[in-house]
Amino acid sequence: MVASSRRSRRSRAIACAVAAVAVAATGGGLIPGGAVPAAAAADEFRPQLVTVRTPTRADKDRLVALGLDLTEHAGHDYVEVVLHGAGDALALRTAGLDWQVRIPDLVRRESEVNAANRAYAAATTASPLPSGRDTYRRLADYNADLERLAAGHPGLVRKFALPHRSLEGKQVYGVEIAHDVDAVDDGRPVFLMLGLHHAREWPSGEHAVEFAFDLVKNHGGDERITGLLKKARVIVVPVVNVDGFEKSVDDGHLVDLRTIDEGGTGSILATPGNAYKRKNCRIVDGLAPLAGECALASSPGGFGAGVDLNRNYGGFWGGPGAAAEPVQATYRGAAPFSEPETRNIRELISGRHVTGLITNHTFSNLVLRPNGVAPDTTGPDGLPVGDAPDEAAMKELGDRMAAQNGYTSQHSWELYDTTGTTEDWSYNATGGYGYTFEIGPDEFHPPFPEVVDEYLGAGAYAGKGNREAFLLALESAADPQAHAVVSGRAPAGATLRLKKRFDTPTWSGSISDVLDTTLTVGAGGGYTWHVNPSTRPVVKARQIRVVGSEPLARQTYTGTTPPAQPTDREFTVDRAADLLEVRLDWATPDDLDLHVFRKGADGTLTPVGGSTGSLGEKERVLLDRPEPGTYVLRVENWASVAPSWTLTASLYDATEHEIGGLVENWTLSCEKDGRVLEQVPVVVDRGQHVKADLKACARKWSQG
């Protein structure tokens, strides 16, 4: 009965997936703002990359709710989206969203990238990358490279397998790099580098593994890197999502579009298959896929099947920006940590003091930091989420890293709301700083020379790039001022354990979590342990801002703007203020746009904000802590009859309020052969160094 039920459940799920794919694949060419021909053939629609206009927070929320395949390329007024079929275009149109096509045929673009990569590899003996690699790795290449690093550098590199095999039974591997690497429990802080949570984001794995090659190659010859590998340990897991990546990279290399018949009109054109697959290989919640099932269940572009691993972590799981339905691109999974891939990373972080973490993705040229939802969002406790308690320090490091690669340093929520992400959980559960790098400007896996340039830096960033940004992150992870230190004396050979059990909040409840790390006391009897703070960020006091009800200053303008003409008004910020709000309103159901510029002393205008909503939506721009000076407020009318409008500029103060605030402790145990001889509570904050001499343990140890 149980087996029959499982087969029936799987059959229904696959049937639904096939039906969804069929619907999404039908339809014809994409004409922004136009109708989709109902009878068009499926093969007339190729996967497209489009830029969707989202000038307001409501627009972004409406887009996220559609469950389409969002990229990580977004700005204050747009999000780029992959359309896998005409049904996706219809969903955008039905929601009243406007878009422009940026890459009209991702299959053809995949073919062009493959051709460029073949040409680069043919012309290159060895690239400037630390490994000399000149083309994208496949899964077997990653595994071979990790083995080569470990075999060639004993004492410096240790290859290891993570505890959970993938849904298809594959082992997930990482390497640990450090001076005297085999002394795992020696109390050094850990820096963790991750790649390929999302299958199609090939450069994310390349950058992770190249950083491993870089450290190994320069250890002993570069004073900075040698010193860092004595102070800290580096763990690199370049391919978190082994099943999905294998499908994406193998199918992507098959896409070919070359004329045959000696210049005739014939061509070989593979479908994209799983080349643009985002998720893992979970087909039916709770069940492992059958042999070959993941490859066969590829919806257009391979994005429909699976769980989005970067929505499956426990922190705030199930909240904004994470889809509840399996066919949606950001499907969060059946439960927090339901997937073996995220359980691997959870257990890795829970068993070490990971004081710094970078998880690599593509694309958007961004350095993102927690939290994943806007600070004024009401959280599961009924209070605003607020900014991360370590916002100032994380922003400072994020800004310094972005200065090396030309990326934009910003909060994760400024891209769009997300929950259940890697650092949503890791930062809030452990206190270790966590960042997402969105590598590259405009493609999931661009021509390989762009991977080289992003890692090493190009143009104004030559010699810097992500390599230098990663090194800055490693320096921060090794810096005791950015974490905490516990030291003291205990019996030589004793096992010390720092442990903490707690509940991690999801969006609708909580899950049980545990951090459990060990250290072996050296022959001298003294120990120094670099640890994360004892109080988790998620329960620390946090600051929220409440905007005053009365403005400090306000000015109202009225006018009429002819079609296709702008009208400018000036507003002066003559005092310190926390917020500048500009609202544009009109009585008719027309479509006006609002742009705000800061006017320089020479009259030049620098754009600082804009709002270009859809028909009937009123416009609003909000500027945080505006600099004193003159601002130009521009009303634009592109297509309406000449409506009269009202423009209001207001300055506000906001008050900071502290909410919440608990103090937690580690439990420090001293053990001999698994027997606890002493336990003491340890409270330590970021940047603190506390002493813990375990005298009772020493006394009992000597008694046998």
Annotated catalytic sites, by residue? 438
The Cα diameter of the chain in Å comes to: 93
Classify 203 in phi/psi space as left (phi over 0), alpha (psi -120 to 50) or beta. alpha
CA 691 to chain centre: 37
The number of CA neighbours under 13 Å toward the Cβ of 242 is: 22
CA distance 231 to 246: 35
Cβ atoms 271, 229 nearer than 8 A: no
Burial of 290 (0-12, 13-18, 19+ CB in 10 A): middle
Which of 666, 630, 413 is CA-nearest to residue 536? Answer: 666
Whether omega for the bond prior to residue 213 falls within 30 degrees of 0, making it cis, is no
- Residue environment code for 64-91, b if the CB has 16+ CB neighbours within 10 A, otherwise e: bebbbbbbbbbeebbbbbbbbbbbbbbb
Q: Parallel, antiparallel, or unpaired: how do β-strands 592-599 and 553-560 relate? A: unpaired
CA distance 678 to 657: 41
Which of 51, 58, 44 is CA-nearest to residue 80? Answer: 51
Residue 367: C-alpha distances to residues 190, 234, 408, 425 (Å)? 20, 20, 6, 18
CA distance 335 to 95: 29
CA 515 to chain centre: 23
Give the DSSP H/E element, type plus range, for residue 463. Answer: none
Give the DSSP H/E element, type plus range, for residue 35. Answer: none
DSSP per-residue letters across 686-697: TT-EEE---HHH
Which of 313, 288, 322, 260 is CA-nearest to residue 67? Answer: 322
Q: Which tokens go with 457? A: 């830096």
Other residues' Cβ atoms within 10 Å of the Cβ of residue 4: 8
Whether omega for the bond prior to residue 371 falls within 30 degrees of 0, making it cis, is yes
Q: Parallel, antiparallel, or unpaired: how do β-strands 675-682 and 542-547 relate? A: unpaired
CA angle 189-337-666, nearest 5°?
Answer: 40
CA distance 242 to 168: 9
Q: Which tokens go with 132? A: 């000399």
Give the DSSP H/E element, type plus range, for residue 175. Answer: strand 173-177
